[in-house]
Homo-oligomer: A and B are copies of this chain.
Amino acid sequence: MKFRITPIDGGICAVEGIYAGAVKAGFKKDDYDVGFIRSDEPLDIAYLFTTNKFQAAPIKYVKRKEIKKSNFILANSKNANAMTGEEGIKDIEEILEYLSSRTTLTNPVMSSTGVIGVRLDKEKIKAAIDKFDLNERNSNKFAKAIMTTDSFEKEIAFEVEGEFGKFRIGGVAKGAGMINPAMATMLCFITTDADIPKEEMSEILKDNNEVTFNAISVDGDTSTNDSVFLMTIRKGAYEKEAFKEALKQVMIKLALDIVKDGEGATKAVAFVVTGAKNKKEAKIAAKALTNSLLVKTALFGEDPNWGRIASTIGASGVECDENKLKIAFENIVVYDKGKIIFDEETEKKAHEVMKKREFKIYVDIGMGEGAFTAYGCDLSYDYVKINAEYRT
C-alpha cells in the first residue's frame, strides 16, 4: 500500500467545510426526522439512483434539473414522496423555494425515505427548516434524521494519507430494517475533500457500488428512493487508487452496518462464491444465497444444513454440477465434489462456526473463474423457528 487509511470521528462532517444537522419536525414521535447537509460553496456531486421504474419525486427532480453541482441537501424520513406524480415534484419546488429564504442556494437537492404514495406535509417541513441551525456540524444528528426502522446510526469517516498528500472522506447511510435491505429505501451520503476529477466521480462510485451496496441487495427488488450521493469540497489531495479504496471502505462499512441492522438479525454472513462460470453467475449464486429464506432460517437455527445451500445454487440458474461443487463453513468442508463430508464431528464443527456473530460460507462451484462475495443476515424471529428447526 502506498497509502494509509485511518478511521477518524465526525462522519460526513469530518470533511472540513461540510455542515450537517437535523431537527425534530414531529414526523417521528421524538426524534430527528428532517436534516440537511450543506457547504458554503456549491460542490460537484455524483449520484446513483434506484433502478425501480417508479422513481420517487426527489429523484425525478434531480434528474430533470440535471443537477451536477449543489450546496444543499435537504433530507426527510417517514415519507418517501413516491408515486406522487407532478404534485410531488411541485411540493419539492415549493419547499426548496421556502428554504431559499433562509440561505443562499445553488441547485438544492431533496432526498426522502418513508411511506410511498402520500404527499409531503410541506408545512411541517417548512417549520423544520425554520428551526435549522445552519452552522451546525453534526453528522450524527443527520444520520439519525434519515433513519426509519434502523436501530442505530450508520456513520464512518477516514483520513487517507500517502505520498500524494492527504484527503478525508466520510459517509452516513440509512438502511432498512428489512430482511432484504434493497427492498426498503437505502440512502447514503458521502462527503470528501479529495480533489477527484469530476469525470471520475460517477465511475468510481458505480464500480464500488457493485461490490458494496449491490452486494447486500439481493434480487433487484429496489425501492423507489434508493440513492447514493458523493460530493467533494476539493480542498485535499487525490490519488485514484487511494480514493477508490477509501470510498470502498466507507461504502462496505455502511453496507455491512445495514446488513447487521436487519430487523432481529443475529448474524452477518458473507457468502463467498468462487469457481462460477463467470463473474455474473458468481453474483447470481451469491445473491441467491443471501436471499434464500431456507438458508437464512438455517443460519438463525445455527444448523449447518448445507443441502439448502446446494439446493439454492441449483435453483439459481447458474451452471453447476453436483460433482464439482464444494461447500464450507469457514474452513469446515461439508460437501466436496459429490462427496458428503458430514459425520457427527464435522457437523459439530460447522455448527460451532455458525454460533459466531459473523462468519463466512464458502461455495466453490468448480465451473470457472467467476467470484463474488455477497453479504446477508439470518432470519430470526419466532415464525422462522419453524423452519430453523425443521431438521430436528
In the docked arrangement, what's the CA distance between A55 and B387, Å?
22
Q: Do residues B184 and A294 form an inter-chain contact, with CB atoms below 8 A?
A: yes
**Copies of this polypeptide in the complex:** 2
| Any B CB within 8 A of the CB of A381 | yes
| Any B CB within 8 A of the CB of A164 | no
Q: Do residues B222 and A115 form an inter-chain contact, with CB atoms below 8 A?
A: no
Please give the distance in Å from A339's CB to the nearest CB on chain B: 8
- Chain A, 301-317, contact with B by CB distance < 8 Å: what is the 0/1 string? 00001111011111111
- Of A14-22, A174-182, A189-197, A204-212, the stretch lying at the interface with chain B is A174-182
Q: Do residues B314 and A115 form an inter-chain contact, with CB atoms below 8 A?
A: no
Q: Do residues A288 and B383 form an inter-chain contact, with CB atoms below 8 A?
A: no
Could you say which of B55, B224, B323 contacts A85, with CB atoms under 8 Å apart? Answer: B323
Q: Do residues A391 and B115 form an inter-chain contact, with CB atoms below 8 A?
A: yes
Could you say which of B52, B180, B390 contacts A314, with CB atoms under 8 Å apart? Answer: B52
| Any B CB within 8 A of the CB of A112 | no
Complex interface: chain B residues within 8 A of A214 (CB):
none
| Any B CB within 8 A of the CB of A263 | yes
| Any B CB within 8 A of the CB of A26 | no
- Of A65-73, A76-84, A244-252, A350-358, the stretch lying at the interface with chain B is A76-84
Could you say which of B115, B264, B315, B383 contacts A223, with CB atoms under 8 Å apart? Answer: B315
Complex interface: chain B residues within 8 A of A380 (CB):
383
Q: Do residues A149 and B263 form an inter-chain contact, with CB atoms below 8 A?
A: no
Q: A53-B320, A85-B322, A322-B85 are in contact. Are A383 and B383 (CB under 8 A)?
A: yes
Complex interface: chain B residues within 8 A of A45 (CB):
none
- Chain A, 93-128, contact with B by CB distance < 8 Å: what is the 0/1 string? 000000000000000000000011111000000000
Please give the distance in Å from A269's CB to the nearest CB on chain B: 18
Q: A54-B313, A54-B314 are in contact. Are A178 and B383 (CB under 8 A)?
A: no
Q: Do residues A179 and B293 form an inter-chain contact, with CB atoms below 8 A?
A: yes
Complex interface: chain B residues within 8 A of A224 (CB):
310-311, 314
Q: Do residues A116 and B310 form an inter-chain contact, with CB atoms below 8 A?
A: yes
Chain B residue at minimal CB-CB distance from A225 = B311
Q: Do residues B307 and A117 form an inter-chain contact, with CB atoms below 8 A?
A: yes
Which parts of A333-387 form the interface with B (CB within 8 Å)?
335, 338-340, 342, 379-384, 386-387
| Any B CB within 8 A of the CB of A133 | no
Q: Do residues B386 and A149 form an inter-chain contact, with CB atoms below 8 A?
A: yes
| Any B CB within 8 A of the CB of A139 | no
Complex interface: chain B residues within 8 A of A305 (CB):
115-117
Q: Do residues B178 and A306 form an inter-chain contact, with CB atoms below 8 A?
A: no
| Any B CB within 8 A of the CB of A203 | no
Q: Do residues A54 and B320 form an inter-chain contact, with CB atoms below 8 A?
A: yes
Complex interface: chain B residues within 8 A of A320 (CB):
53-54
Could you say which of B263, B321, B339 contacts A387, with CB atoms under 8 Å apart? Answer: B263
Please give the distance in Å from A97's CB to the nearest CB on chain B: 23
Please give the distance in Å from A325's CB to the nearest CB on chain B: 8
Please give the distance in Å from A173's CB to the nearest CB on chain B: 19
Chain B residue at minimal CB-CB distance from A82 = B307
Residue from A84, A221, A311, A312 having most chain B Cβ neighbours under 10 A = A311
In the docked arrangement, what's the CA distance between A134 and B319, Å?
43
Complex interface: chain B residues within 8 A of A232 (CB):
none
A-B contact pairs, 24 of them (CB 8 A): A51-B315, A52-B314, A53-B317, A53-B321, A54-B320, A55-B314, A82-B307, A83-B310, A83-B335, A83-B340, A85-B339, A115-B307, A116-B310, A117-B305, A117-B307, A117-B342, A118-B342, A183-B292, A219-B219, A220-B315, A220-B317, A381-B381, A381-B382, A383-B383
Would you list the 3 A-B pairs with minimal beta carbon distance, nearest first? A116-B307, A381-B383, A54-B314
